[in-house]
Chain A
């Protein structure tokens, strides 16, 4: 029992530290690509501390509850995802629960922002939800391929099946893994898919009314969701990790890849994003699923 509680706390702290580290790294790499020096790597952490000490503005109860719910869901999600051997709530519903708890995040932000009644928020939420619809189509196909291939809905089982370097990415699931990489920028909401935040157009969209401690929570939430999206990819396709260190190393590689994509692309328009997401990724994901089905039918 005590070990379990410690595991849970460890997992959340690892996720938080790594998420914030990624945020700092993100700015640093971007700066270097743009031939700037960039802020120190702990700048996001300093920002969060600073924001907690600033006076913020609140628009009402749901405005507060929405962001609390969103962040709480992210924390819970950490417990469902194996982080190199640490997985605290593995027996509580598997990948479907992960998929559905992931809904809390946009829903919480959307409810919270809805009460803000700001045109930028409305536009941002609308774009965010449409974007989710866009990437969810290929994402679901990918997850279903994985679940069908391993014939389980438990993410821990999927990770275990990939031990000894039998990574899904180099198995018949190759196409699905590739597709996940193609839609990862959309899941992470980095360019070319940062249509929901779009600082230059709609002043960060859903985040525009957050200030002070709310903005701090929003940043923490952002760090967590960065961690979660990459961690799921590592677990499903790169074999998780025997211990947290390997796991984080794999995550770092995927993350840096994402930053490079972010650095070189301009932003899509909403329709362009949907059109992209529903064309090549969907075709590849369906092809991947059919391959899995054929293999399953022939070799059992």
Chain B
């Protein structure tokens, strides 16, 4: 009963917000924030109140079921939290733009759809909520019009392909087993023949792979992320895309189960090994492409694709460390990528929509809080120790070494360096370096933008220093999949083959920093000087003329540019072009001229007559 009420509040709240917007925009804003807080509170209350109940019986004699367990709760609370942050952030971001009522409706509807996905206990309701989410996401992506329309179109075409493959999978399961309840299919599918399992897995893989932007289905993501309004980019990259990961987890571990999943195929050709390689390719290529981007949101979007690789790699390994690392990484990624998109949104808000990294710079003095958010987010994305991103990556690396997959480990590790290079450019070109003249009078971000940024930064550091809090929940999920429990402590993970103790590291760095700071204090006091007062080895540098952050990694670009193109996107473009050409040819036949059609009909009749006559022409 409880879950129905939760979803009803989510959906009715969304429409009510729209209607309230017609009366007063202030009331609407307050109500939207209120609704998202209510959802957050209700979801939090669901912790360990796990249940499964039928909410509708009559759909082709199939029960529609809502259910909640540890996995769905973890996703649900993340959805509710990110939803709340993005709504709070939107308050000032979207103010004064057109169609704001519609924007809030869609934001809340996306949240409701995602909550529905993680709470649904059968594939039909899963599909319905999936579609609600996909379509409202489409409307939000193309909210800005212009290039956003093209981005949205690209997204929805791929999304529809994904929906169709999922529908085929669902229909196939239904015709074979006559039920679509997840808990009922699970034992049936697990005993099916490997060929059939592979068939089902591939169809669902395409669906979830498209949503999760797995190579080669990733091409919709970079334009969609960069063109969407920034608060929605945070939701999109943070959690909506990761619905694909939820799908993977459900299909691999809940429906199929651990043993059949690991036993599919053998040796180098086993399903999960290939999946792990897909994960690694997903890490390496996008992170290096990200280095070449000059649009701040597009750069982050490519990292969204890249970090997805770690999650796939983690859950593909099927070890307790790996799965824990993969699941943990989903939520870590949510926290820092949402944070970074909000940071970009705040900068965009103050600089009139400027996203070009070559035109920004020096904003640290103007927007200090936003800079702190950017710094923490960047550290999290890189996986610097003391941020949560490090813990999940550590888990994945460790299992790769212990399982004896050194090349996978190498791919995963080298992705880190691509990340560092591109993200240093991100933070340097936005916040460090020179402040361009035209941003001299910029103000700091409004409070409604700073609040989510600060909360998310805090979460990243908290879970980085005390990873035991989320790892306990993730450990419970792992054990429910049938994996061996990890030895989780509040400070990390105890193990004989190398423990992790983040609290130790934290205190070591803290004390060392204090010592160094005291050392610095001992020295003679320094004089603060402006940025323009710098030493250029005797050369004269006209201050307004140059911007030092442009083309930051030029020596590397020159080498890598020919290799680092999105070849898959180019390939799809060729297909689209060919399709357009073919349609053009078809259009020549269907000219719209009645005379032609009469001739076609006559010709067709003539052919029929000839066939009837036994192909004898005379």
Contact = CB atoms under 8 A, between A and B. Distances in A.
B404 A59 contact: no
Interface string A94-119: 10110111011001001100111111
B420 A72 contact: no
Contact of B526 (A53, A57, A89, A202): A57
B270 interface: no
A148 B519 contact: no
Contact of B500 (A73, A92, A132): A92
Nearest to A140: B413
A114 B409 contact: no
B534 A76 contact: no
Interface of B is mostly: helix
B535 A92 contact: no
Given A68-B520, A100-B390, A114-B428, A152 B420 contact: no
A59 B505 contact: no
B31 to A, nearest CB: 40
Count class of interface residues, chain B: 35 or more
Interface of A is mostly: helix
B513 A72 contact: yes
A144 B413 contact: yes
A92 B428 CA distance: 31
A161 interface: no
Contacts of B375: 111
A52 B413 contact: no
A96 B534 contact: no
Nearest to B520: A213
B150 to A, nearest CB: 33
Interface in B477-528: 492, 497-502, 504-505, 508-509, 512-513, 515-517, 519-520, 522-528
For A114, A137, A209, A274, which residue has the most chain B Cβ atoms within 10 angstroms? A114
Contacts of A116: 531, 534
B555 A216 contact: no
Contact of B520 (A64, A127, A274): A64
A160 interface: no
A296 B402 CA distance: 13
Contact of A209 (B362, B424, B501, B535): B535
B534 A209 contact: yes
B364 interface: yes
Contacts of A103: 382, 384, 416, 420
Nearest to A136: B417
Contacts, number: 238
B365 interface: yes
Interface of A: 51-60, 62, 64, 68-69, 71-73, 75-76, 79, 89, 91-94, 96-97, 99-101, 103-104, 107, 110-111, 114-122, 125-127, 129-130, 132-133, 136-137, 140-141, 144-145, 147-148, 151-154, 157, 202-203, 208-209, 211-214, 216-217, 269-271, 274-275, 289, 292-293, 296
Interface of B: 362, 364-365, 375, 382-385, 390, 394, 397-398, 401-402, 404, 406-407, 409-410, 413-414, 416-418, 420-421, 424, 427-428, 431-434, 492, 497-502, 504-505, 508-509, 512-513, 515-517, 519-520, 522-537, 541, 546, 548-549, 552-556, 558-559
14 contacts: A51-B523, A56-B527, A57-B527, A62-B432, A89-B504, A92-B501, A93-B492, A99-B413, A117-B534, A118-B535, A120-B537, A144-B401, A153-B402, A269-B555
Given A75-B512, A114-B428, A141-B410, 19 more contacts: A55-B527, A57-B526, A91-B504, A93-B501, A97-B394, A99-B413, A114-B433, A115-B432, A118-B535, A119-B541, A119-B548, A121-B548, A130-B556, A140-B413, A147-B401, A151-B401, A153-B401, A157-B498, A208-B534
